[in-house]
A = this chain, B = another copy of it.
């Protein structure tokens, strides 16, 4: 089941993700500040990937700083802790759909129209040349979700 494209109890997503965020931060002695928490909440509003500048606009409208580093720092904080992911193919960010697992890698299925992102467990490691030390994997499938194929791109 892929949350992004199926009907589900989204309130539970949000609640679980925030709880996981609290837990991860507590465990590591780090602070889920209002800015960071709010950034995560914004991402959690849907399974749609948001650009850093989209997030920034939201934050600025709520009284936080209005310059790019404000958003990028909060997003990097979340990504490093596995609470959010960066979708390379969109240059955008999504809340993690499997929070509480600690930092982890995942595969993403991304609709290029509505920008919804389903997170799947990362597949098998790719082949790698001798002596190459893999640090990070990017596995994404881009295309059209069922709704966007039918409805010619319904709003996210």
| Residues on the B chain within 8 Å of A88, using CB | 88-89, 138, 140
| Interface residue A155 (Cβ < 8 Å from any Cβ of B) | no
A134, chain B: closest CB distance, angstroms: 4
State how many copies of this chain the complex holds: 2
Report Cα–Cα, A143/B135, bound state, in Å: 5
Instruction: Check B127–A123 contact: CB distance below 8 A.
Output: yes
Report Cα–Cα, A5/B129, bound state, in Å: 8
Q: In chain A between 109 and 150, which residues have their CB closer than 8 angstroms to a CB of chain B? A: 109, 111-112, 118, 120, 123-146, 149
Interface of A is mostly: mixed
| Residues on the B chain within 8 Å of A125, using CB | 141
Instruction: Check B132–A144 contact: CB distance below 8 A.
Output: yes
- Which A residues are within 8 Å of any B CB, using their own CB? 2, 4-6, 88-89, 107, 109, 111-112, 118, 120, 123-146, 149
Jot down 9 A-B pairs with beta carbons below 8 A, ordered by A.
Answer: A88-B138, A89-B138, A107-B126, A109-B128, A123-B126, A128-B141, A131-B146, A133-B144, A139-B139
List 18 additional A-B contacts (Cβ < 8 Å) besides A88-B89, A133-B144, A137-B139. Answer: A5-B130, A5-B132, A6-B129, A88-B88, A89-B136, A107-B126, A109-B132, A112-B135, A130-B146, A131-B146, A131-B149, A132-B141, A132-B145, A133-B149, A135-B143, A135-B144, A136-B142, A138-B140
